[in-house]
Structure 1
Amino acid sequence: MRSAILLTILALVTMSLAEDAEKKEEKGKENEDKYTDRFDSLNVDEIVANRRLLVPYIKCALDRGRCTPEGKEMKAHIQDAMQTACKKCTDKQKAGARQVVNHIKDNEKIYWDELTNKYDPKGEYKPVYEAFLAGKDPQ
């Protein structure tokens, strides 16, 4: 009788551990589909409020200036984010991307034109990123 109870408890513990492992694996796969959140603490408000901070990031993206680690990370994902409406972005990254890019569109028109010419020269993805910048995420 005792061994049957022990076997039942052992089976329940094993099933529970297997479920936990599956959940961790699923969560890991979700995170694989996202860009790194390593720089999510970057103060976007400060950057858009200070042109001296903003312009170096833009020049990095345009291959016309040095890149900080944050700038290199951003630059590596610009084209993919434009083409997919920031599908791999965390919610914080989506909000920050909208804020920065809309600021560039509204206040740095020459740089905006240069960025779109570099990353979407044929204008193929304009409907995708324009909808995203307007706050509409694809379903």
Structure 2
Amino acid sequence: MKLFIALATLVVLAAGQNTYTSEYDDLDIDALVSNLDSLKAWSNCFVDKGPCDKAQNSFKVDMHEAVQQACAKCTSAQKVIMKKFIAGLTEKSPADYELFRQKYDPENKYFGPLAKAIA
């Protein structure tokens, strides 16, 4: 019986690591994207041009992997956040979008699959 409980605990712990932390899944991405200064601050953090607060850093830590793996470990909320962030950056600050894309997909091979995954 103890072996069963130990195995069940390991399975639950392993399953819990299939997604990134959901701590900031409630981020108001619509408000962020509608405020150009906020959008630029997040973009600058992601491309190492500005400081990062705790929330920004939480996303930045996993950004390379999330882009390269088409958000495979993203929660549903994180997919929405990523989609709206990229769309907002593309529309409101194309130069910052290009810096973001160059940092996370310099060979232009990940953003296509990412776009499909977060659509």
Give TM-score scaled by structure 1 length: 0.75
Summarize deviations over 1:96-127 as a string: whole Å, max 9, x none: 11111111122221111111111111112232
3-state DSSP of counterpart to 1:52: helix
Contact 2:71 2:79 in 1 (8 A): yes
Q: Which residue identity lines up with residue 100 of structure 2 in the other structure? A: L
Higher alpha-carbon Rg: 1
Task: Count the aligned residue pairs.
Answer: 119
- The structure, 1 or 2, with the larger RCO (C-alpha pairs under 8 Å, 6+ apart) is 2
Contact 2:33–2:88 (CA<8 Å) still a contact in 1?
yes
RMSD: 2.0
Matches within 5 A, 1:13-52: 14=1, 18=4, 22-52=7-37
With the length of structure 2 as denominator, give the TM-score of the two structures. Answer: 0.86
* Runs ≥4 residues deviating over 3 A: 20-25
Shift of 1:22: 4.8
Tell me, which stretches of 5 or more residues in structure 1 are unaligned?
1-13
Identity, % of aligned positions = 24
- In structure 2, list runs of 5 or more residues that go unmatched: none
Change (3 A) 1:37 1:121: same
Q: 1:76 aligns with which of 61, 65, 70?
A: 61
Partner amino acid for 1:36? T
